Amino acid sequence: MNKVQPHSFFTDFDIDLFKAGKHYRLYEKLGAHLTEVDGQKGVYFAVWAPSAKAVSVIGDFNYWLEGEHPLNVRWDGSGIWEGFIPGIDKGTKYKYKIHSHHNDIKTEKADPFAFYCETPPNTASVVWNTKHGWKDTKWMATRQDKNGLDKPYSVYEVHLGSWRRAEGGRFLSYIELADQLVAYVKEMNFTHVEFMPVMEYPYDPSWGYQLVGYFAPTSRFGKPEDFMVLVDKLHQAGIGVILDWVPSHFPSDAHGLGFFDGTNLYEHPDIRKGYHPDWKSLIFNYGRNEVRSFLISNAVFWLDKYHIDGLRVDAVASMLYLDYSRADGEWEPNVFGGRENLEAASFLKDMNEEVYRSFTGVQTIAEESTSFPMVSRPTYIGGLGFGMKWMMGWMHDTLEYFKKEPIYRRHHQNDLTFSMTYAFTENFMLPLSHDEVVYGKHSILGRMPGDEWQRFGNLRLLYAFMFTHPGAKLLFMGSEFGQSGEWNFEQSLDWHLLDYDYHKGIKNLITALNKLYKKQPALYEKQFSADGFEWINYGDNENSVLSFIRKGNNPEDNLIIICNMTPVIREDYRIGIPVAGKLKELFNSDDGQFGGSGVTNKKLKTDDIPWNGRDYSAAMTLPPLGVMVFSVK
C-alpha cells in the first residue's frame, strides 16, 4: 500500500476562520473523509495537534504501527496535520498516534471528528460516509410552523438504552426504535422527543453525558444512517427531535480529548477553570478560538447532517459561573472582579447566533438552574440567545408542594403561586426530567402522599397543573404511565404496569393533556407572555384552590382553569368569570377514564353575581385532587 500523499481540504480562508474561532463547518475539513486523488480512492485525514512533533495514522490497515503512515503538518501555523492515504476504505478502524514536543509524551487518540466509532468498550474510530435518502421534506419545509415559541411544545424525554429492551435485555436498535418509539410518541400526542445524549460515550453509567465521539451517534444501537432513519420517521410522523448537547465538560479517558497532543489542548490549562470537581471531568477552554470552532461546528453538524430540530444544552450554569461547585480560593474572578465566566457566555452567544442564523425553525434550550439574566433573550439586547430555558424553580417548588399531605397544603400555597412572579422573565420550559427520578428521589408517583387512590389523584393533579401552567412541557419516559420505581438505566421501563387500571389511567391522562394542549390556542399562543395569563383567585389558601385564566390571541379561545389541591369534594364553589355565557368542561383530571372518581360538571352557566373582582360568576362542584378546564361561550 502506498504511503501518505500530500493533500488538503483547507483553503487559506478556512485556516483564517479556524484561527479566529469562526469556522463553523469544521466537520467538512477535519477528520477522515473518503475521497479520490489522482484517480486513487482512499481517505484524507486531518487532525489538530499544534504541540505535536509527529502524527501517524494507525489502524487495522497497518497493524496499528506508529510511523507507517505519518501525516504532514501544515506550514501556516494552524497546528493541523493532514494527508491522503490511498487504498483504505469505509469501515477501516483507526486512531492518531501523537508524539508531543511536550516532555516527549506520546498519546493514542480517537478522532475528535469521527463520524462513527467502535462500540464501547472498544475505542477506535471508524472511517465512514453516512448516506441516507431523507423523506422528511414536508416536515423540514413546515418546521417553522411546528417548532415555534407560539406553538404547542410537549417533549417526551428518552434514554434510548432503557426505554424498552428486546427479549433477553438486548438494546433495541435505531431501526427497531423507528417503529416502536415513533408509534408510541405519536399515540401519546407528544409534539417532540428529546434524546439524552446519543453522541458516542465510553461509560454507560454516565447516561451519555461524558462524551468522546462528538460527531458520531453511539454505535450501541446501530450505524449512523440508522439513527438518521429514526429521526426521519419521527419527522414523517410530525414529531420534532431535540438532542441533549454537552459542551460543558468531557471525560479524561485516554483515547478522548483530554491532553490530546500532550498538552491541555481542548481543556482549560488552569485547573480552576479546566477541571470539574463534581463530575471529575475536564472543562473546555472557551477562550481558545479553535475550541470554539470545534464546539460550534458540532452544534451545527447535528442540525445540518441529521436534520435535528433543537439542542437542549446541558449544565449551562456550570459553564456560566467560575465558582460553580468551588470553595473560596478554588476559583479566580473575571477581569471585572465578578464570578461570571465571560468566555463561556461569549461562546454561548456565538453558538446561538450561528444556529439561528443558519437554520430555520430550530430551538436551543438551556438547562440553567440559576437566576442568570436573559438566558432566553436575543443576543442583540444582551441576552445569551437561547430559545427557551428550563424552569428549575417551578420544578423544585411544585414537587416540594406535592410531597406534602393535603391537610398541610394551605400553609404552602405560595410554593405554587410564586412561579408566576417570574414566569415571563424567560421563555420557560417546565421540566419533570430524568434527574428527578434517580438517586433516592423516588419516581414522580413515589413522591405522592396518601393511599393508592390519593397517590394517583395527586399525580393526575400535578400533571394537569403542569399542562395548564404557562410554558412548554417536558416529561421523562415512564412518568407518563406512573412508573412506580426509580429509573434504572440498565433495564427497560416497567411496561407491565399498564396491565393495571390506575397506571393505564395516567397514560390516558397524558394522552388527553397533550391533545388538549395542541388543540387549545390559549394554552400555547401566549405561553411565554404575561398577556396569556390572569389569576382569578390565588388567595384561597384555606381550601387550597387556585383558579386562573389562560389566554390566546382570540379572546373567545380563553380558558378557565380551577385546581383543587385537596381530596375534599367542594360543592357550590363559586369563582369569578370575566364574561357571561355557558361553561363547557373541556377537561377534568378526575374523569373515570383517567382513574378518577368521576366528579364532573356537565351543564354550567354564569350568574350575574360579581365575584373575585369580575362581573359574573359560576358555582360548581370541584372534584377531589382535580383540575378542570372550561371554555365560556
Tens-place pLDDT, residues 406-424: 999 999 999 999 999 999 9
**Do 154-253+262-365+379-390 and 530-632 fold alike per CATH?**
no
Distance CA 605, CA 611 (A): 14
Confidence of residue 526 (pLDDT cuts 50, 70, 90): very high
Instruction: Give the residue among 98, 91, 103, 185 at the shortest CA–CA distance from 130.
Output: 91
Phi-psi region of 256 (alpha: psi -120 to 50; beta: other; left: phi over 0): beta
* pLDDT at site 440: 87
Distance CA 373, CA 390 (A): 13
Confidence of residue 196 (pLDDT cuts 50, 70, 90): very high
Residue where the block lists cell 390506575: 502
Options 111, 314, 350, 436, the catalytic residue = 314
Options 111, 343, 350, 367, the catalytic residue = 367
Q: Hey, what's the cell of 371?
A: 437566576
Superfamily for 12-126?
Immunoglobulins (2.60.40.10)
First to last CA, the chain: 80
Distance CA 147, CA 310 (A): 9
Distance CA 415, CA 546 (A): 12
Q: What sign does the CA torsion over 588, 592, 598, 600 have?
A: positive
Distance CA 269, CA 284 (A): 9
Residue 109 phi, psi dihedral angles, 5° rounding? -120, 140
Confidence of residue 467 (pLDDT cuts 50, 70, 90): very high
Residue range 230-249: average pLDDT?
98
Give counts: helices (H), strands (E), the chain. Answer: 12, 28
What share of the chain in percent tops pLDDT 90? 98
The whole-angstrom distance between residue 47's C-alpha and the CA centroid of its chain comes to 29
**For residue 1, pLDDT beyond 60:** no
Q: What is the pLDDT of residues 85-114, one digit of tens each?
A: 999 999 999 999 999 998 889 999 999 999
Q: What is the pLDDT of residues 320-363, one digit of tens each?
A: 999 999 999 899 999 999 999 999 999 999 999 999 999 999 99
Q: What is the pLDDT of residues 588-604, one digit of tens each?
A: 999 999 999 999 998 89
Residue range 527-547: average pLDDT?
97
Distance CA 238, CA 225 (A): 20
- Classify domain 154-253+262-365+379-390 at the CATH class level: alpha beta
Q: Hey, what's the cell of 486?
A: 426509580
DSSP run (H or E) holding 95: strand 93-100
Q: What count of Cα atoms within 13 Å lies in the side-chain half-sphere of residue 414?
A: 1
* pLDDT at site 2: 58
* pLDDT at site 495: 97
* Reported pTM: 0.96
Q: What does R_g of the chain's alpha carbons equal in angstroms?
A: 27
CA dihedral 292, 293, 296, 298 (to 10 degrees): -120
| Buried residues in 483-508 as b, exposed as e (16+ CB within 10 A) | beeebeeeebbbeebeeeebbbbbbb
Distance CA 513, CA 517 (A): 6
* Residue 314 designated active-site: yes
Domain residue ranges of the chain, discontinuous segments joined by +: 12-126, 154-253+262-365+379-390, 530-632
Q: What is the mean pLDDT of the chain?
A: 96
- Classify domain 530-632 at the CATH class level: mainly beta
Residue range 122-134: average pLDDT?
96
The whole-angstrom distance between residue 394's C-alpha and the CA centroid of its chain comes to 17
Residue range 2-7: average pLDDT?
86
